[in-house]
Chain A
């Protein structure tokens, strides 16, 4: 199902959609592009260069309540948290960020099925858009992705200049397009050709930077390499990379409250923080930048494959573009590609 939407009709489409969905879309905040819950659809920026945060927080919020507790005498009353009921539509998600959600699904659906995550997930519509403004830090094409192939979304947009070329992907997505068919016109062969041309052009803007097969093959024998000492010195062990990353998912569970009542919450945590692995007795198995940086790379390019048969990086480049110390994941992976002997 391929349709055409005139750009001026986007607002109307979103208005229709907002009858059943809370609309989450990229908007401008100062110089930044950020996904926000929007009501004024004229503010939506569909064609943008990388949002500062990925939209993962709408499925996996930075901090969320698991339950409330209240003591009365020796008893404790527990009230499980409830997830917002109104379905959400994440509009304008780039293919890399959409693929990232599939990667998160595996983790949250692993040995324990995370109810809070899946309640949101199953209640969220994904409307993706071809990323036609990749920047220097993007490398989706090196990790088996493309800037246009948003596998697993419901509807996909391509900005062709004056119009959006729209593909219904899932049954749910096709139904929504059907229900609003007065807004669209049927796509013609020229439109399709135009989209193919756009795809080809963007692919050229994101050249392949390394052979991911070679990288993942080499991972197993690189754990003790001196390479890690060298490349980790720059790292200042903040959490910018992990918090901006669409696939990072580590969290920490805490209580906030007093002796009578409170709530148990989980918040994002980051393996680059020094206290991430600090044990109750004070021992810290990952005490320095080297072991922590190595962990981040191994988790994404080795352990995740062993557990879930996929790497957990989509090449969005945020951790590279935003690292204040200039750590460069692509350079690291290129070194690994060469193997330990080139350290």
Chain B
């Protein structure tokens, strides 16, 4: 923790840096929230641990000047995507890379404490310690990882100006697409029913859209009134249209940060949908988004030798 505070304090002294984008502790047990440090005193509030879940890159364009930003591999992957799509100026950024061994699901942890009032919590190695009004309890971090984490092959950010710690290599990961393959095997009618049950719950609050770092369209198709692409009513037909169009628009772009999944108050498993698109893009174009800034995204590039006529 001292590391990041010292780095931040040095950076904020620089004339060219307007703010440092990181996290501070939230009021809830196991909550961290995005935080923007603008003074050396602010910097003391910065924290960094495996409960820092929000993807921070969406906030970069809130600032007109240069910012320094702490990025986990997920944030960095989104950054790669946004830089490739020319949504952020590289010169406006100072990127501090943070290695990640998996982030925790705060909701899962809150369920585990069964409503007991928490005074404080702390993370130590692979354990999280919870202090109640009376007594304390320890949990194993690995039991509370976010769904996206166990199979993640990126433990060091793919882009940074300075990195805290050394690069980490991964080995022996569970299969990322196991769940997608399982769903693919379902008969069409069951698949339909599975998704209908989920889409029916959708509130159309658009938390999934707004939290997504790659969903940056200035005017999302769902907001358009003329023409109105989908009904305003949250009926199954429109909800389905909304989610499918969104998934298509993220094909080859979604970097699997899982923020949509986390943000959804109605527990709709949006990651499963996006992973399916990831699988298709990987199969057809041998491309995984967010990995390498120098590999052009397949859906925004073309080759002269493309087998299809319309592109030539």
Majority secondary structure of chain A interface residues (helix, strand, loop or mixed): loop
Cβ proximity bits B228-269 to A, threshold 8 Å, 1 near / 0 not: 100111110000000000000000000000010011011100
How far does the Cβ of B109 sit from chain A's closest Cβ, in whole Å?
A: 12
Residue A186 is within 8 A (CB to CB) of chain B in the complex:
no
Contact of B118 among A53, A136, A239 (CB under 8 A): A136
Residues on B lying within 8 angstroms of A by beta carbon are 26-29, 31-34, 36, 54, 58-59, 62, 107, 110-111, 115, 117-118, 201, 203-207, 209-211, 223, 225, 228, 231-235, 259, 262-263, 265-267
Tell me the nearest residue of chain B to A52, going by C-beta.
B265
Residue A234 is within 8 A (CB to CB) of chain B in the complex:
yes
Q: With A52-B266, A267-B232, A273-B223 in contact, is A331–B211 under 8 Å at CB?
A: no
Contact of A267 among B27, B29, B234 (CB under 8 A): B234
CA distance A326 to B34 in the complex (A): 7
Q: With A244-B265, A322-B265 in contact, is A331–B209 under 8 Å at CB?
A: no
Tell me the nearest residue of chain A to B118, going by C-beta.
A136
Contacting chain B: which of A13-21, A24-32, A165-173? A24-32
Measured between beta carbons, the chain B residues less than 8 angstroms from A331 are 27
Measured between beta carbons, the chain B residues less than 8 angstroms from A328 are 26-27, 33
CA distance A14 to B204 in the complex (A): 32
CA distance A265 to B232 in the complex (A): 9
Q: With A233-B62, A273-B223 in contact, is A252–B232 under 8 Å at CB?
A: yes
Q: With A52-B265, A326-B33 in contact, is A133–B115 under 8 Å at CB?
A: yes
How far does the Cβ of A252 sit from chain B's closest Cβ, in whole Å?
A: 7
Which of B34, B201, B210, B225 gathers the greatest number of chain A CB atoms within 10 Å? B210
Residue A205 is within 8 A (CB to CB) of chain B in the complex:
yes
Measured between beta carbons, the chain B residues less than 8 angstroms from A236 are 58, 207, 210-211
Residues on A lying within 8 angstroms of B by beta carbon are 29-32, 49, 52-53, 62-63, 133, 135-137, 205, 233-234, 236-240, 242-244, 252, 254, 256, 265, 267, 270, 273-275, 320-322, 324-326, 328, 330-331
Measured between beta carbons, the chain A residues less than 8 angstroms from B234 are 62-63, 267
Contact of A243 among B26, B32, B205, B263 (CB under 8 A): B205
How far does the Cβ of B52 sit from chain A's closest Cβ, in whole Å?
A: 11
B232 touching A135, Cβ below 8 Å: no
CA distance A193 to B305 in the complex (A): 84
The 8 closest A-B pairs by CB, nearest first: A326-B33, A324-B263, A63-B233, A238-B210, A238-B207, A239-B205, A236-B210, A240-B207
B27 touching A330, Cβ below 8 Å: yes
B223 touching A274, Cβ below 8 Å: yes
Contact of A256 among B28, B31, B34, B231 (CB under 8 A): B231
A238 touching B209, Cβ below 8 Å: yes
Measured between beta carbons, the chain B residues less than 8 angstroms from A237 are 210
CA distance A317 to B117 in the complex (A): 15
Q: With A52-B265, A267-B232 in contact, is A238–B211 under 8 Å at CB?
A: yes
Contact of A63 among B29, B34, B207, B232 (CB under 8 A): B232
Measured between beta carbons, the chain B residues less than 8 angstroms from A324 are 54, 207, 211, 259, 262-263
How far does the Cβ of A67 sit from chain B's closest Cβ, in whole Å?
A: 15
A137 touching B28, Cβ below 8 Å: yes
B59 touching A233, Cβ below 8 Å: yes
CA distance A177 to B111 in the complex (A): 36
Further contacts, 15 of them, CB under 8 A, given A30-B267, A62-B203:
A31-B107, A205-B117, A234-B33, A234-B34, A236-B211, A238-B210, A239-B206, A240-B265, A252-B232, A320-B28, A324-B211, A325-B211, A326-B32, A328-B27, A328-B33
Measured between beta carbons, the chain B residues less than 8 angstroms from A133 are 115
Measured between beta carbons, the chain A residues less than 8 angstroms from B203 are 53, 62, 239-240, 243-244
